[in-house]
Structure 1
Amino acid sequence: MNALTDKFREVSLAIIPIVVSILLLHFFVVPMETEIVYRFLIGSVLIMIGMPLFLLGVDISIERIGEDMSQSLIQTNKMKIVMVGSFIFGFIISVAEPDLHILAQQVSAVTNNLIPQMTLVITVSLGIGLMIALGMYRILKSIRLNRFITIVYGLIFVLALFNSGDFLAIAFDASGSTTGSITVPFMLALAGGASAITRSGLEEDTDSFGLLGIASTGAILGVLIMGMISPNSNLAGNIPVDTVQSSGVIGTFLDQIPLTAKDSFLSLIPVLILFYILNAISLKKTKRQLIRINIGLVYTIIGLILFLTGVNAGFMDASRSVGYLLSETKGNIWVIVVGVIFGVLTIPAEPSVHVLTDQIEDETAGAIKARTVMFSLAIGVGLAVGLSILRIVIPALELWHILLPGMAIALILSYFVPDIFVGIAFDSGGVAAGTMTATFILPFAQGVAESNPSANVLTDGFGVIALVAMTPLITVQAMGLLYRVQTKKDTRAGKEGRYE
């Protein structure tokens, strides 16, 4: 109960600023439909109840399952089994990821089903499974993360030359949406289990991070390859800004709950089946341990249902309406400023961010504080959303104009900062572009694009997740650069003190 109370307090402090900002905009700047506001408030309450339950369940169950699966693979001492098993795990949890389905639904709607939902989900999941397998190979073979990630992004840049801007935006957005509520705790546990077995000391901490960033590149590669072979190289569409849904305030949530419950169960059942198969073969958990894991899974499912129902039925329409109305009535400055504020406020409300920052503090024995990482992510994402809105309102500014130099800077920084910050940075890029980004920031950008005559809601609206996933790579590594400089100063000061 104490742990649940602490998480409820933490989540409430994160959600309340978003609620206050939306209400202030509604009452004083851009009045929205009353029903949209009511749904937003109900959704906020569901999020404040659901997210603490989800986070507690992850602590008890998902992280433990991921570590056990990782250990069972590596203890076979057969690289082929580790690679194949990692591919299967990666594919299954990606297919089950709710965030990916949310993005795929929106892509299918905007492109008039030129890219079907399940086609995108399967393509992205295959890429992620492949890159998770290669990421585990990197850990076991002690390959430096910066060298590995440079090669992968070099391949991405080459493939990008043969793709249209439409597929480029979808590819990088998919990379952020794949690291969500289910995949983040599982992948972190998978990497942590592998590094704990194969390393010790500082190297173990270093290799505990980076797998999320590597997995995200699999989504990019998958979509870019699909774009090269697709007969539909140019995509177009629009997202109508609906005001009030016919089912009413309560009806909207009642309609959403069964769909969300089904998605939540489907997200966890494949992982649970794999776990029990491995438990029967090698893990041999005690009855008490299995009961604890099952209780954690119940918390996780209930929390996930409440959380996703809140964001899907309450947040998306309010965010899209604010973006549309601000752009239509108040002009570009208002839209950019509000976008930056939303970006900063969204990060503390992202469940995957809490999972990552808590593990960073645990793995580094408190040397890198969760709050410090959270602050750097918030600044980076705020900047990313501001740049995304700027790209929408300036027709000549394209996604690659920002993304290419940004990624180049991130890769260059990876050779000048401590390895652990490189891994944290690339993992942070994935978790920053999680559920709240897909259901709050993305609809806001789409609303702005829909109201702007010179914007394309597909290429301009969907690019926001790509930039949200990019900026933490720079901000977190910049923090690592400052850390290295300060460490050298402290070391120099210590030596001078001994000489005196």
Structure 2
Amino acid sequence: MNQLREFLGILKHSFRNLLPIIVVVAFFQFVIMRQVPDDLLPITFGLLVVVVGVALFLQGLEMGIFPIGKNLSNDFAKKGSLSLLMIFGFCLGFSAVVAEPALIAVASQAEQISEGRIHGLTLRLLVAVSVGLVVALGVVRIILGHSLHWYMIIGYIVVVTVTFFAPEEIVGLAYDSGGVTTNIVTVPLIAALGIGLAVSLRGRNALTHGFGLVGLAVMVPMILVQLYGILVYSFGEPGTVDAGAAMLDPAIEEAVSPTAGSILLGMVTDLLVMFRDVLPIIAVVLFFQYLVIRKPIAHIHKVMGGFVLVIVGLYAFVVGLKLGLFPIGQSMAAQLIGLDKVFFIYLFAFCIGFATTMAEPALIAIGMKAEEAGKGRLNGNLIRLLVALGVAIGITIGVHRIITGDSIHYYIMGGYTLVILLTWLAPKYIVALAYDLGGVTTSEVTVPLVTALGIGLATHIEGRNVLIDGFGLIAFASIFPIVTVMLYAIFVELVARTRGVQT
């Protein structure tokens, strides 16, 4: 009975989180466009499915992923083996990314854009290995107690430098490939590992040391993919590419693809595919739990039930998005351009960026963990508002770049130069969390909608190249939440100092 009451509370919370998206879409559809959308009933049903999916996902996190991440960290800390922890971190990072559907799609798109110079599988393995190495490095950082800001300052100086030399065709996709490494399942699991490890070690702070693994996992693939792009564009030869290999616009995929003519069989097949995507992570967890730590999982029925809820909830969530939001998002991009009023395009970009971020399940989960780790210093809802504001600003700037046709190089280099400066100035307790928050904005809600918006604008604006101008919005959605969170922390510290001087 208590679990049912808890689930109903989460369901209510999920609906409240989705409400901003409903308000934005309804406002633009009825007030600006003055049109009743086609298929209103499927759209409404899709939104309800999204609410249920998010609720199931959050319930599953609390039952399965968070406890097992924390318990594994505790057990590894008790063993005291740095090499074991690093191997576990590498395996977890690699398995979390190698089967990621969004990365597979980005790799296919990179192969298409480069005319075969870039090999899709090579790119996927490069990103997966880099994330594995980064998580292993992040584990060492927590154990040694290093502050994250030096890692990030040096890392993003490298990012900006490499971007200056990278070919135009690969920059947007390189940043997008960094964004898609942080999905709705892996973010909470990696965060739980970091926080659990920091809590287990004497002298480590959950907020300062526990966060940062997600931020590192976003940064390093950006560097390696651009280096790979420089290499293949300098020495590689164009090859033959299957035209069907290009990334499909998520807005035109079917919500449920029938299998052998059966919708029900199609749903089961899609669920099994989703389970397959999560299977490498489950395999790594079980291997280390039973063969390395040699200790049974406590309350295994509850943990496995949590994983099942996560998968079912994620599936319902994706189906609901395809039914409810993707079609209307794509059509509204075309309608807004048809109005011939640029202001409304900027306004829609800002509003949809804010609304989708507020509904992001991974951000909700990290916000809750940050509030716990902060012990009164941080408010989860305020964090989400700051991140949503950053995404809204970032996407608006990214849309402006598509409209004007400017090169992405200078925008990205300028954005990360600002991030480096703020990392130097910001209080140390906020740095790791700020970078992790930049990573969680590029998950299952934001990525498809933002990608659809970018492709829609580049398709309908004359003189734009869809394969170059249509991508890169995800990078802007990652940069500016870091900026807004750090600026807020700097402001709060300045106010505290001023009050201290006055008293």
Residue number in structure 1 paired with 2:219: 217
Percent of residue pairs identical: 23
Aligned-residue offset at 1:400: 2.3
Note if contact 2:157-2:420 (Cα within 8 Å) is conserved in structure 1.
no
**In structure 2, C-alpha distance between the alignment counterparts of 1:74 and 1:244, rounded to whole Å:** 47
Residue number in structure 2 paired with 1:481: 490
Aligned-residue offset at 1:464: 0.4
Structure 1 residues 215 and 351, CA gap change in structure 2 (3 angstroms): same
Opposite residue 353 of structure 1, the aligned amino acid is L
**In structure 2, C-alpha distance between the alignment counterparts of 1:50 and 1:485, rounded to whole Å:** 41
Structure 1 residues 21 and 244, CA gap change in structure 2 (3 angstroms): same
Note if contact 1:320-1:445 (Cα within 8 Å) is conserved in structure 2.
no
Structure 2 residue 458 is the aligned partner of structure 1 residue 449: yes
**In structure 1, C-alpha distance between the alignment counterparts of 2:118 and 2:324, rounded to whole Å:** 26
**In structure 2, C-alpha distance between the alignment counterparts of 1:429 and 1:101, rounded to whole Å:** 22
Instruction: Give per-residue Cα distances to partners, 1:389-414, cap 9 Å, x unaligned.
Output: 1001102x222222212211111111
Structure 2 residue 355 is the aligned partner of structure 1 residue 345: yes
Aligned-residue offset at 1:324: 2.2
Residue number in structure 1 paired with 2:138: 135
Map residues 348-363 of structure 1 onto 2, 5 A cutoff. Answer: 348-363=358-373
Note if contact 2:42-2:324 (Cα within 8 Å) is conserved in structure 1.
yes
Structure 1 residues 229 and 298, CA gap change in structure 2 (3 angstroms): same
Instruction: Give per-residue Cα distances to partners, 1:114-163, cap 9 Å, x unaligned.
Output: 75654443222111111111111222222221111112222223332332
**In structure 1, C-alpha distance between the alignment counterparts of 2:121 and 2:267, rounded to whole Å:** 21
Aligned-residue offset at 1:379: 1.0
TM-score (norm 1): 0.89
**In structure 1, C-alpha distance between the alignment counterparts of 2:276 and 2:269, rounded to whole Å:** 11
Residue number in structure 1 paired with 2:408: 399
Long gaps (5+) in structure 1: none
Opposite residue 439 of structure 1, the aligned amino acid is P
State the SS of the aligned residue for 1:434. Answer: coil
Structure 2 residue 444 is the aligned partner of structure 1 residue 435: yes
Structure 1 residues 213 and 288, CA gap change in structure 2 (3 angstroms): closer
Instruction: Give per-residue Cα distances to partners, 1:141-190, cap 9 Å, x unaligned.
Output: 22221111112222223332332122111111122221121111011011
Note if contact 1:39-1:249 (Cα within 8 Å) is conserved in structure 2.
no
Residue number in structure 2 paired with 1:421: 430
Residue number in structure 1 paired with 2:327: 317
Structure 2 residue 159 is the aligned partner of structure 1 residue 156: yes
Opposite residue 387 of structure 1, the aligned amino acid is I
State the SS of the aligned residue for 1:458. Answer: helix
Instruction: Give per-residue Cα distances to partners, 1:229-284, cap 9 Å, x unaligned.
Output: 32368999988989988999999986873454133212332222222233324656
**In structure 2, C-alpha distance between the alignment counterparts of 1:360 and 1:121, rounded to whole Å:** 31
**In structure 2, C-alpha distance between the alignment counterparts of 1:248 and 1:484, rounded to whole Å:** 50
Aligned-residue offset at 1:480: 0.8
Residue number in structure 1 paired with 2:38: 34
Aligned-residue offset at 1:373: 0.5
Residue number in structure 2 paired with 1:90: 93
**In structure 1, C-alpha distance between the alignment counterparts of 2:201 and 2:146, rounded to whole Å:** 13
Structure 1 residues 399 and 287, CA gap change in structure 2 (3 angstroms): closer
Instruction: Give per-residue Cα distances to partners, 1:89-108, cap 9 Å, x unaligned.
Output: 10001124344345446656
**In structure 1, C-alpha distance between the alignment counterparts of 2:298 and 2:385, rounded to whole Å:** 39
Long gaps (5+) in structure 2: none
Residue number in structure 2 paired with 1:367: 377
Aligned-residue offset at 1:418: 1.6
The structure 1 residue matched to 2:478, chosen from 462, 469, 478, is 469
Map residues 223-242 of structure 1 onto 2, 5 A cutoff. Answer: 223-230=225-232, 231=236
Structure 2 residue 173 is the aligned partner of structure 1 residue 170: yes
What's the RMSD between the two structures over aligned residues?
A: 3.1
**In structure 1, C-alpha distance between the alignment counterparts of 2:293 and 2:257, rounded to whole Å:** 47
Instruction: Give per-residue Cα distances to partners, 1:45-64, cap 9 Å, x unaligned.
Output: 21111001101101111112
Structure 2 residue 41 is the aligned partner of structure 1 residue 50: no
Q: Report how many residues are paired.
A: 491
Note if contact 2:198-2:206 (Cα within 8 Å) is conserved in structure 1.
yes
The structure 1 residue matched to 2:193, chosen from 180, 185, 190, is 190
**In structure 2, C-alpha distance between the alignment counterparts of 1:29 and 1:398, rounded to whole Å:** 31
Aligned-residue offset at 1:285: 5.6
Structure 1 residues 10 and 291, CA gap change in structure 2 (3 angstroms): same
TM-score (norm 2): 0.88
**In structure 1, C-alpha distance between the alignment counterparts of 2:159 and 2:104, rounded to whole Å:** 23
The structure 1 residue matched to 2:390, chosen from 373, 380, 400, is 380
Note if contact 1:421-1:477 (Cα within 8 Å) is conserved in structure 2.
yes
**In structure 2, C-alpha distance between the alignment counterparts of 1:247 and 1:491, rounded to whole Å:** 57
Aligned-residue offset at 1:205: 2.4
Note if contact 2:90-2:133 (Cα within 8 Å) is conserved in structure 1.
yes
Aligned-residue offset at 1:458: 2.3
Structure 1 residues 183 and 252, CA gap change in structure 2 (3 angstroms): farther
Note if contact 1:381-1:468 (Cα within 8 Å) is conserved in structure 2.
yes
State the SS of the aligned residue for 2:468. Answer: coil
Q: Which moved more, 1:86-95 or 1:134-143?
A: 134-143
Opposite residue 34 of structure 1, the aligned amino acid is D
